[in-house]
Amino acid sequence: MKKAALLAGVVAAALVSASGFASDLFDRINAGRYKAVLADCAACHTKPGGQPFAGGAPLDTPFGKLIPSNITPDRETGIGNWSYADFRGALKEGVGKGGKRLYPAMPYPAYSAMTEADIADLWAYFQKIEPVSNRVVSNQLPFPFSIRTVMIGWNLLNFSPSEFKPDPAKSAEWNRGAYLVNGPAHCGTCHTPKSLLGADKTDQFLRAGNLQSWVAPDITNDAHKGIGGWAAEDIVAYLKTGANRFDIASGPMSEVVANSTQYWTDADLTAVATYLKDIKGAGTAPPRPLDAGDPLMLAGKAIFVDRCSACHVSSGEGAPFLFPKLAKAPVVNGDDPTSLIRVVLEGSQAGTTKARPTTPAMPSFAWNLGDAEVASVLSYVRNSWGNAAPAVTPAQVKDMRTKLAR
C-alpha cells in the first residue's frame, strides 16, 4: 500500500519536475522524488515487500555478498545523522559519513556524473521520507574485500569523479539522454562489461554485462548483438511499459521498469532513446551461424518445435507484448548465453506495468530437459532465423543448474 502511494506520488512529481530546479522546498522534495526514480534507488535499497529505502535484498557480487543500506533518515540505522556533505560525498566520491569507503555496487562511479542540483534535490527528498529503524550490516564480503580501505586503491585505478559535461556538438535531447544513461540511470552498471576488478570496461560501453547470473544484453545500436533493429519509439515503449513489439522485460530489468522507467517523463525516455541509438556497438561481423543440418541444430529444432514453438512460434517471431521475439534479439545473439540458459531452466515471469499488465510467464523446463537438450535447443535458437552466436555447451547448462540449485 505504502509503495503504491509512493509511486503515485512519483507520477505527480514527474509533472512538477519539468519546471526544473526550484528553490521552494516543496518543489525541491518533489523534484528529488523524481530524481530518486531516475536513479532507481529503490531497486537496491528497498527489499521486496520491505519498507521503502530501509535496506535491500542481498546483492551477489563476484567478490561476495553486499546488502544495500538503510537510506531513510532514521538517526540510528539510516542516514538521519548525515550531513549534506556526507550525502554528496557518497554519491560523488564513494565516501560516506566518517570517511567510510563504499563499494562500487553502489554506482557512485555513475552518480558522480550527476549535477549538484540533482544531488541537492535528492538530499531534500531523502531527508523527508519516513524514517525506518532497520539495522543493515552492509559489508558481508570475505577478507580481504571486507576491508573498506581497499577501495582507495580501487578508486585510484578505476574511478575519476567528474560531473557530466554536455557535448556542444550534440542536441540538447542527446545530451539529456547521455546525462541520464551515464549518470542517474547508471545503465552501464549492468550493461557494460566489467574488468577483473569489477570496473566498467569503458571501451566496451553498454555492450552487455553479466551479474547475479543474468546477462544485461548489449544495448548499443549494433545491428546484430544490440538494439540496432529497434526504432527510438520501440525503446521508449519498452522502458515506459515493459514491453514492445520485440521483447518484454523480465529478470532484473523488469524491476527497473517497474520501479523506475515507467514513471519517467516521455521527454526523458525519448532523450535516452536518442542517445542509445547513437551509441556504436562493437560492429564486429556476426559469426557464421551453425549449419542447419548440424546434428546439434537438428536435435535443437526437434525440441524447439515440440516445447517452444507454441509460444515463440516456429519462425521465432513470438507474440507482441506476450512472448518475446527470439529472431534477431540482442539477448539471443550476445556472446554470453547466461540469461537464456537461466530462463529455460528456471522459467521467468515478465514484469508488470499499468500499461502492460499481462505478466506472462515461461515455465521451468529444468525438470524435463537434460543439460544436452537445453544446450541443443539454445544452440538452435542462437543460430536460426537470422541469429548467429556461439553454440551453448552442456557444461554451461550444468553450471547454471548447479548455481540455481544453491
Partner 1 sequence: MVRKLPRKDVVIVGLGWTGAILAHELTDAGLDVVAIERGPWRDTATDFNVAYAPDELRYAIRKDLFLQPAQEAMTMRNNISQTALPMRDYGSFLPGTGVGGAGTHWNGHTWRFFPSDFVLKTHLTERYGAGRIADLTVQDWGVSYDELENSFDRFEYLAGISGKAGNLNGKIEAGGNPFEGPRSREYPLPPMQMTYAPTLFAEAARSIGLHPFPTPSANLSKAYVNPLGIAMGQCTFCGFCERFGCANYSKSSAHTTILPVLMRKSNFEARTECEVLKVDLASDGKTAKGVTYVDVTGELCEQPADIVLLNAYGLHNVRLMLLSKIGTPYDPATGTGTVGRNYAYQTNASTQVFFEGKNFNPFIAAGALGQTVDDYNGDAFDHAALDFVGGAGINCIPTNGRPIAYRPTPPGTPRWGSAWKKAAKQNYGNTLTFSSQGSSYAARGNYLDLDPTYKDRFGRPLLRVTFDFPDNDIRMSNWVSDRMQQIATTLGGKQAVVGRARKGWNSVPYQSTHNTGGAIMGTDPNTSAVNRHLQSWDVPNVFVVGASAFPQNAGKNPTGPVGALAFWAADAIRNHYLKNPGKLVQA
Identify which of residues 94 and 324 has a Cβ nearer to partner 1 in the complex.
324
- Considering only 147, 358, 370, 386, the residue that binds partner 1 (CB under 8 A) is 358
3 state DSSP class of 295: helix
- Is there binding between residue 1 and partner 1 (CB under 8 A)? yes
- Is there binding between residue 359 and partner 1 (CB under 8 A)? yes
Identify which of residues 280 and 354 has a Cβ nearer to partner 1 in the complex.
354
Of the candidate spans 33-41, 72-80, 313-321, 372-380, the one that interacts with partner 1 by CB under 8 A turns out to be 313-321
Backbone angles phi, psi at 305, to 5 degrees: -60, -40
- Is there binding between residue 352 and partner 1 (CB under 8 A)? yes
Is residue 191 marked as binding? Answer: yes
- Is there binding between residue 315 and partner 1 (CB under 8 A)? no
Identify which of residues 184 and 300 has a Cβ nearer to partner 1 in the complex.
300
Identify which of residues 5 and 298 has a Cβ nearer to partner 1 in the complex.
5
Q: Say how far apart CA 188 and CA 337 lie, in whole Å.
A: 19
DSSP E strands, 193-274: 207-211, 214-218
Amino acid at 220: T
Backbone angles phi, psi at 348, to 5 degrees: -165, 140
Is residue 134 marked as binding? Answer: no
- Is there binding between residue 362 and partner 1 (CB under 8 A)? yes
In DSSP notation, 13-37 reads: HHHHGGG-S-SSHHHHHHHHHHHHH
Q: Say how far apart CA 140 and CA 123 lie, in whole Å.
A: 27
Backbone angles phi, psi at 197, to 5 degrees: -90, 5
> Taken in order 371, 374, 376, 382, is the CA torsion positive or negative?
negative
Return the residue matching grid coordinates 544452440: 379
Is residue 42 marked as binding? Answer: no
- Is there binding between residue 322 and partner 1 (CB under 8 A)? yes
Identify which of residues 194 and 356 has a Cβ nearer to partner 1 in the complex.
356
Dig out the grid coordinates for 272 from the structure: 535516452
Q: Say how far apart CA 344 and CA 44 lie, in whole Å.
A: 26
Binding mask 110-149 for partner 1 (x = CB under 8 A): ----------------------------------------
Residue 7 CB, nearest distance to partner 1 (Å)? 12
Of the candidate spans 108-116, 264-272, 306-314, 398-406, the one that interacts with partner 1 by CB under 8 A turns out to be 306-314
Angle at 173 between CA 170 and CA 178, to 5 degrees: 75
Helix 295-303, helix 371-381: angle, nearest 10? 100
Residue 72 CB, nearest distance to partner 1 (Å)? 22
Residues 3-62 binding partner 1 (CB under 8 A) are 4
Identify which of residues 102 and 397 has a Cβ nearer to partner 1 in the complex.
397
User: Which residues are CB-neighbours of 111 under 8 A, at least 6 positions away?
Assistant: 39, 91, 92, 119, 183, 184, 186
Identify which of residues 3 and 128 has a Cβ nearer to partner 1 in the complex.
3
Residue 319 CB, nearest distance to partner 1 (Å)? 4
Dig out the grid coordinates for 11 from the structure: 507520477
Q: Say how far apart CA 154 and CA 107 lie, in whole Å.
A: 14
Cβ contact 295:303 at 8 Å? no
- Considering only 363, 370, 386, 395, the residue that binds partner 1 (CB under 8 A) is 363
- Is there binding between residue 368 and partner 1 (CB under 8 A)? yes
Residue 129 DSSP class: S
Of the candidate spans 107-115, 224-232, 273-281, 315-323, the one that interacts with partner 1 by CB under 8 A turns out to be 315-323
- Considering only 43, 150, 223, 319, the residue that binds partner 1 (CB under 8 A) is 319
- Considering only 170, 307, 398, 401, the residue that binds partner 1 (CB under 8 A) is 307
Q: Say how far apart CA 386 and CA 224 lie, in whole Å.
A: 9
Dig out the grid coordinates for 13 from the structure: 512529481
- Is there binding between residue 323 and partner 1 (CB under 8 A)? yes
Annotated binding site: 41, 44-45, 187, 190-191, 308, 311-312
Binding footprint of partner 1 on the chain (CB under 8 A): 1, 4, 243, 307, 310-311, 319-323, 347, 349, 352, 354-365, 368
Annotated binding site for heme c: 41, 44-45, 187, 190-191, 308, 311-312
